[in-house]
Amino acid sequence: MFFPAADAAIRLKLIELYRKAGAALAENYLHLLTLKFVESRGQLGRSFMSTSFVLNGKSITLDADPNMPLLWAVREIAGLPGTKFGCGMALCGACTVQLDGQPIRSCVMPVSAVAGRNVTTIEGLQTQAAHEVQPAWIALQVPQCGYCQSGQVMSATALLEKNTTPTDADIDSAMSGNICRCATYSRIRAAIHSAAQSLKA
Ligand code: FES
Ligand code: FES
């Protein structure tokens, strides 16, 4: 099985495009590749393998190549674009979703690996921690360009779900895989402390 985003040459092309032209163009390029891929498979009369899992609290079955990264299944098939493409190599955290409550990089997770499991994206984040993180993010004006922020929020809420009194070191460790080109790190740390205070109140 082959999926465009799983091909090394295409990944390099995407990274080059991302660096030179920005994330939006890289996403558009992969969107077009995905459409072409799906169309060509349809013309060959082949069907994909179905993968069933729980997405944002609802059971779904996706007709997708098992090698398709979860990121593209979520964005292109399930139609949830809040999760972002950054590097495609598990290096930046823009694509962070939660798998059974743990933050994972959906750009390198084959959709077949989440069969029978619970996937949560930014669109479906409903935990108590999430209800405190979102107002804290707004109050402290964390987002700048905003591109990395859905991934940041997914990691921050996962941290607060298991640790409501995180130290600076806990926060730095939990958030170390989420890169922000706008360098909002100090605001992220302050917002997590603020959300933790609200959770205890
Ligand atoms: S897109 Fe960068 S870690 Fe997945
Ligand atoms: S807010 Fe711009 S990359 Fe993080």
Q: Which residues contact 17 (CB under 8 A, 6 or more apart)?
A: 25, 26, 29
DSSP-assigned letters across all residues of 43-75: HTT--PEEEEEEETTEEEEEEE-TTSBHHHIII
For ligand 1, which residues put their CB under 6 angstroms from it? 85-88, 90-95, 105, 107
Report the pLDDT averaged over residues 187-200: 97
Nearest-atom number in ligand 2 for the CA of 182 is 2
Position 6 pLDDT exceeds 60: no
Tell me how many degrees the CA angle 201-125-35 measures, rounded to the nearest 5.
Answer: 165
- pLDDT tens per residue across span 154-189: 999 999 999 999 999 999 999 999 999 999 999 999
Domains of the chain in start order, with CATH, are 8-124 (3.10.20.30), 128-200 (1.10.150.120)
pTM: 0.82
Please say whether the beta carbons of 101 and 161 come within 8 A.
Answer: yes
Report the pLDDT averaged over residues 88-97: 95
How many angstroms is it from 18 CA to the middle of ligand 2?
14
> CA 130 to CA 116: how far, in whole Å?
24
